[in-house]
Amino acid sequence: MSLSPDQAQRVTPQVQAWVRTQASLGHTIATMLKAMRAAGWQTDVARGVIAGTLKAPVPVPLPALGSALRIDAGDRQVDVLMQMSQPHIVVFGNVLSDDECSALMETARPRLSRSLTVAVKTGGEELNDDRTSRGMFFTRGENELVNRIEARLARLLEWPIENGEGLQVLQYLPGAEYKPHYDYFDPAEPGTPSILQRGGQRVATLILYLSAPEAGGATVFPDVGLEVAPQRGHAVFFSYDQPHASTLSLHGGAPVLAGEKWVATKWLREKEFI
């Protein structure tokens, strides 16, 4: 199989099959890069495609649940309400107290602005109609409350605090939503290599519910027909060991129909997030 110029810059199953075949024939990454450049690929993009295609699944957070109904998260006993294996999803109860939910929302409120999404072409950020919430980021360990919650989550998920991005708080007013998407960074996009420099791929997400709307606003997993109701103090965790749709980690925030929904999202990286 050859790599025709019209396939340049598009990650199709054919391109991925070509990469796998070259590797199985013993060709080096340098040889593959040379062939891809000759077919019109930019070096960075080609490198990302090769790495993404050949990469074995990476370790991901794996809360030690067993058949326990509760997990000791250090300063709090967290309830296990639901778990499934493919995709790996866990719904937790009692992760945050009412006071912690209120304090996060009140500290975040004056800093909210319209949420952005990653601009895949550049690695920067952009406004996107698919995401109509307002949001803000705390930096990691920004204050005593954030510090305490981050330590609890690290213990709950058995994943180092340093590998977590700062908590992001989101407010959804009626009509606001986050259309289904993947949280990992697409290896085929030209902006991805620069994003990955800060801690590697995202490998898991924890969405903490700070305030429940009166109607709507479920976190949905369309590949498996699951809808998680946003109950205050609860959280939904899911992991993805490859930046690939086969992880079934497609998920979204359904439109809020009445009232306000508030969440805090913690994204977990492979390595230390700087």
Interface residues toward ligand PD2, by CB under 6 A: 170, 178, 183, 205, 207, 219, 251-253, 263, 265
Nearer to ligand PD2, 46 or 150 (CB): 150
Nearer to Zn ion, 115 or 163 (CB): 115
Nearer to ligand PD2, 134 or 244 (CB): 134
Report residue 194: phi and psi, to 5°: -75, -35
Rounded to whole angstroms, what are the CA distances from 226 to 40, 147, 157, 230, 241?
Answer: 41, 31, 21, 13, 20
Residue 201's binding partner, choosing from ligand PD2, Zn ion, none, with beta-carbon cut-off 5 to 8 A by kind?
A: none
Q: Whose structure tokens read 């977590």? A: 164
> Within the chain, what is the greatest distance between any pair of CA atoms?
61
Nearer to ligand PD2, 18 or 185 (CB): 185
Number of residues interacting with Zn ion: please give it, by CB under 5 A. 1
The answer to whether 95 and 235 are in contact (CB under 8 A) is yes
Residue 252's binding partner, choosing from Zn ion, ligand PD2, none, with beta-carbon cut-off 5 to 8 A by kind?
A: ligand PD2
Taking CB under 5 A as the rule, which mask of x and - marks residues 164-203 in contact with Zn ion? -------------------x--------------------
The β-bridge partners of 136 are 169
Residue 160, token pair as written in the block: 């180092």
Residue 263's binding partner, choosing from ligand PD2, Zn ion, none, with beta-carbon cut-off 5 to 8 A by kind?
A: ligand PD2
Residue 205, token pair as written in the block: 């997400």
Minimum Å distance from CB 170 to ligand PD2? 6
Residue 219's binding partner, choosing from ligand PD2, Zn ion, none, with beta-carbon cut-off 5 to 8 A by kind?
A: ligand PD2
Residue 207's binding partner, choosing from ligand PD2, Zn ion, none, with beta-carbon cut-off 5 to 8 A by kind?
A: ligand PD2
Tell me the residue nearest to ligand PD2 as measured from the CB: 253
Minimum Å distance from CB 77 to Zn ion? 27
- A 10 A CB-CB count for 21 gives 11
Q: CA nearest 107: which of 77, 149, 61?
A: 149
Nearer to ligand PD2, 201 or 219 (CB): 219
Nearer to ligand PD2, 39 or 167 (CB): 167
Query: Residue 125: in which H helix or E strand, if any?
Result: strand 125-126
Minimum Å distance from CB 74 to ligand PD2? 24
Q: Return d(Cα 43, Cα 34) in angstroms, integer.
A: 9
Q: CA nearest 235: which of 148, 131, 152?
A: 152
Q: Which residues contact 243 (CB under 8 A, 6 or more apart)?
A: 52, 182, 184, 185, 186, 187, 201
Nearer to ligand PD2, 92 or 178 (CB): 178
Angle 91-92-97 from CA coordinates, rounded to 5°: 145
Minimum Å distance from CB 104 to ligand PD2? 14
Minimum Å distance from CB 211 to ligand PD2? 11
Q: Interface residues with Zn ion (CB under 5 A)?
A: 183
